[in-house]
């Protein structure tokens, strides 16, 4: 824990220090790329606590679980585990989901409501479109979901939609006059299923705060200090919630960079940060302009590009780092040649691991020739942003069973598994259930339970199959009261014969699906073990499912392998690499042809380019193709205007790269596309509550597979409840149960 002398403040430069010392009143920190934004946020929270602010009164909002975890770990190491856990810190969605579970009864939900992810929402919308006999080529489920998402993020309810002639007319002109009715049915189904989608987590929180003054007052009083990371990425709904919560005390600090506002397609509104000073009185603005990440040439190149934007907050990012190499720009005959050129360049980089290298592109489709070339030359790589683990079919099927056990009114989960593995319940039967459910205003699950009472015409064999399905779920509801998430899931997989079903497919894909199920169990096992280790933890199924629902691609832990990272420019935000390649810098591709309608759209594309440039620490390589295939036709390309916007003092340009045979330097490296190995067994001793012999003493130096090196500060408790408070050098204090703790003496 930190000393009272606050020596930690010595770690800050003058601009960072000023921002941290500002504790009361509204403030905005404009943090240029690589300027230490996370440090300022972390130290500001620490400084608040060290100056007497109750950690329970602090709310810190982030956009990714990864950012929240990193901040928690750092704060924990500085002020201790207990105080850090008392801070409400997490993503907008996770924090507001927590509030809604406390207050759900006020808005017609129970605390066990299901959270629908994007695929669940699309599946439900697709079902509604089909039931309404609408043309699925006109009413595409993804497009309708995006439309509904936009409406919700702008706080437009179903009634609000129908009363807005402009919105209705817009959908009429798009030949989608039934959009409003789909929105209404979709919302009704969610409510009936005791479910919320991601957008509801924000919208319902807004409704709660607007319609229940006592709830608003409760959380205004609770959160006396509010800090918001990446404020430039907030949408209208997030803005309204933050504004409401902060109105009483106005101790709000927002941190962000308008030059990195790149998510308007998700509803982000750059004006939230641009106009922040107009929302509060006496706003103090701090500018973090010193870049610690990149060389002078890279910083100056980025500045020269973003200077072309009109709508921005003035700042001048600078660095004391060396000039470094100039930005390399290469012109290539084709996208294939561009990919080969990148491989050649990678093989000349000798000072780094492959994990220090990233290839960034505007769209996922651009990865194909790059992947082909990397595979050809046996250079290991990994794509970020492809199908994530929890979105794979076999995983979604198992998760649907688990969600149905927790919340039997979850309509989409029921429809997904009622006939998986096949149990003779076909579409005709399911449609009958849907019609009966609508007629009787019941959930699908309750309709099946009461199908005999409701006199639905099923054959005796179908009726038996439906009853067996209900019995299966009811049994596991009882089991859920007794078993942890791992044991329950393992028993479920065995009971419904999912492994046997998957093994029917002997292809590599089928084998991979079996391995994925094994890996799911590994993941749940790891979750359980982590929960067991920490005092007062929760190893229940609902907690695990909540973690899954709120996870993202970057939140999933992976084995430490040396590979090149491939991703879109959007996904690269918040990351950094020694060497960065940005490919496909051509007009109509980057900037996108869709961005030419307005200045604001083109400026966002430029900000996206700025984000890409500022990911690079040492070397930046920009490239474009003079020709590429689109829709099967060879077209000729024009270099992006963004290339010409970079001051020529900071670049070297290479035209028409001359290709030489590529060496097989990387041939010894293996490209690993398989999931992790077989399921590891949990030792029986770890699962029993038997007394154990304690081999540790206070003062012992220990190591932990996750937390690293540490020192036992205190041992307390009796028998099976003996626990050790361990001060880890990197992760601060952890309160661990010794019968489960993965500790070794060093």
Residues known to be catalytic: 37-38, 229-230, 260, 615
> ∠ at Cα 9 (6, 13), nearest 5°?
170
Q: What's the token pair of residue 105?
A: 């009864």
- Strand pairing category for 701-704 and 708-716: antiparallel
Strand partners, 315: none
Which residues are CB-neighbours of 323 under 8 A, at least 6 positions away?
295, 296, 297
Residue 260 CA to residue 322 CA, distance in Å, equals 24
> ∠ at Cα 15 (14, 18), nearest 5°?
85
The whole-angstrom distance between residue 110's C-alpha and the CA centroid of its chain comes to 25
Q: Are 202 and 218 in contact (CB under 8 A)?
A: no
- Which residue is listed with tokens 């507001």? 96
Q: What's the token pair of residue 54?
A: 């109750």
3-state secondary structure 680-695: CCCCHHHHCCCCCCCC
Strand partners, 285: 28
Q: Tell me how crowded residue 281 is: count the other CB atoms within 10 A of its CB.
A: 9
- Strand pairing category for 225-228 and 58-62: parallel
Cα distances from 647 to residues 127, 178, 293, 297, 331, in angstroms, run 53, 51, 20, 10, 18
Residue 258 CA to residue 676 CA, distance in Å, equals 40
Residue 531: strand, helix, or coil: helix
Strand boundaries in 447-541, DSSP class E:
none
Q: Tell me how crowded residue 717 is: count the other CB atoms within 10 A of its CB.
A: 13
H or E, element range at 621: strand 616-625
């Amino acid at each position: 824990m930190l000393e009272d002398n606050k020596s930690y403040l010595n770690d800050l430069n003058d601009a960072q220090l000023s921002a941290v010392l500002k504790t009361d009143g509204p403030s905005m920190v404009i943090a240029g790329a690589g300027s230490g934004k996370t440090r300022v946020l972390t130290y500001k929270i620490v400084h608040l606590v060290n100056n007497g602010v109750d950690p329970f009164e602090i709310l810190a909002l982030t956009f990714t679980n990864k950012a929240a975890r990193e901040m928690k770990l750092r704060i924990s190491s500085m002020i201790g585990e207990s105080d850090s856990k008392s801070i409400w810190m997490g993503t907008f969605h996770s924090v507001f989901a927590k509030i809604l579970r406390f207050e759900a009864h006020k808005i017609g939900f129970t605390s066990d409501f299901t959270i629908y992810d994007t695929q669940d929402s699309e599946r439900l919308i697709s079902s509604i479109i089909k039931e309404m006999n609408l043309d699925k080529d006109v009413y595409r489920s993804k497009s309708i979901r995006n439309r509904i998402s936009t409406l919700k993020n702008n706080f437009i309810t179903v009634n609000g939609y129908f009363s807005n002639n402009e919105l209705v007319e817009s959908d009429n002109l798009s030949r989608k006059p039934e959009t409003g009715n789909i929105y209404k049915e979709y919302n009704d189904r969610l409510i009936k299923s005791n479910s919320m989608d991601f957008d509801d987590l924000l919208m319902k929180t807004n409704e709660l705060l607007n319609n229940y003054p006592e709830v608003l007052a409760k959380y205004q009083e609770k959160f006396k200090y509010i800090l918001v990371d990446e404020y430039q990425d907030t949408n209208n709904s997030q803005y309204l919630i933050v504004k409401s919560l902060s109105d009483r005390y106005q101790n709000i600090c927002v941190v962000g960079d308008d030059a990195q506002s790149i998510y308007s397609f998700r509803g982000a509104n750059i004006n939230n940060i641009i106009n922040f000073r107009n929302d509060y009185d006496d706003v103090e603005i701090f500018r973090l302009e010193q870049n610690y990440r990149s060389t002078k040439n890279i910083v100056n190149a980025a500045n020269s590009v973003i200077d072309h934007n009109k709508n921005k907050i003035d700042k001048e990012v600078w660095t004391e780092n060396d000039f470094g190499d100039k930005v390399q720009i290469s012109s290539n005959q084709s996208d294939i040649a561009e990919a080969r050129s990148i491989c050649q360049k990678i093989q000349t980089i000798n000072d780094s691991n492959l994990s220090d290298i990233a290839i960034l592109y505007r769209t996922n489709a651009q990865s194909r020739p790059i992947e082909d070339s990397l595979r050809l030359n046996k250079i290991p790589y990994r794509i970020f942003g492809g199908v994530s683990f929890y979105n794979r079919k076999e995983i979604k099927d198992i998760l649907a069973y688990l969600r149905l056990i927790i919340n039997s009114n979850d309509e989409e989960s029921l429809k997904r598994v009622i006939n998986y593995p096949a149990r003779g319940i076909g579409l005709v039967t399911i449609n009958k259930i849907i019609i009966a459910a609508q007629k009787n205003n019941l959930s699908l699950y309750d309709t099946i339970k009461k199908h005999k009472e409701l006199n639905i015409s099923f054959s005796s064999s179908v009726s038996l199959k439906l009853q067996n399905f209900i019995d299966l779920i009811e049994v596991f509801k009882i089991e859920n009261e007794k078993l942890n998430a791992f044991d329950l899931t393992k028993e479920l997989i065995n009971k419904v014969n999912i492994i046997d079903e998957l093994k029917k497919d002997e292809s590599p894909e089928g084998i991979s699906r079996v391995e994925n199920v094994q890996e799911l169990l590994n993941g749940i096992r790891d979750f359980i073990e982590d929960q067991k280790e920490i005092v007062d933890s929760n190893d229940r199924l609902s907690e695990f499912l909540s973690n899954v629902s709120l996870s993202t691609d970057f939140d999933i832990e992976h084995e430490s392998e040396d590979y090149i990272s491939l991703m879109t420019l959007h996904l690269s935000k918040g990351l950094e690499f020694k060497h960065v390649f940005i490919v496909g810098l051509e007009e109509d591709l980057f900037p996108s042809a869709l961005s030419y309608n307005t200045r604001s759209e083109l400026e966002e594309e430029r900000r996206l380019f700025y984000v890409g440039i500022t990911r690079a620490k040492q070397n930046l390589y920009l490239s474009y193709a003079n020709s590429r295939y689109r829709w099967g036709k060879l077209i000729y390309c024009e270099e992006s205007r963004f290339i010409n916007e970079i001051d020529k003092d900071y670049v070297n340009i290479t035209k028409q790269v001359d290709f030489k045979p590529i060496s097989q330097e990387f041939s010894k490296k293996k490209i690993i596309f398989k999931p992790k190995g077989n399921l590891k067994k949990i030792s029986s001793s770890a699962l029993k509550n038997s007394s154990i012999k304690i081999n540790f003493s206070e003062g012992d130096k220990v190591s932990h597979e996750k937390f690293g090196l540490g020192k036992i500060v205190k041992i307390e408790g009796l028998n099976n409840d003996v626990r050790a408070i361990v001060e880890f050098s990197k992760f601060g204090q952890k309160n661990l149960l010794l019968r489960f703790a993965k500790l070794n003496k060093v």
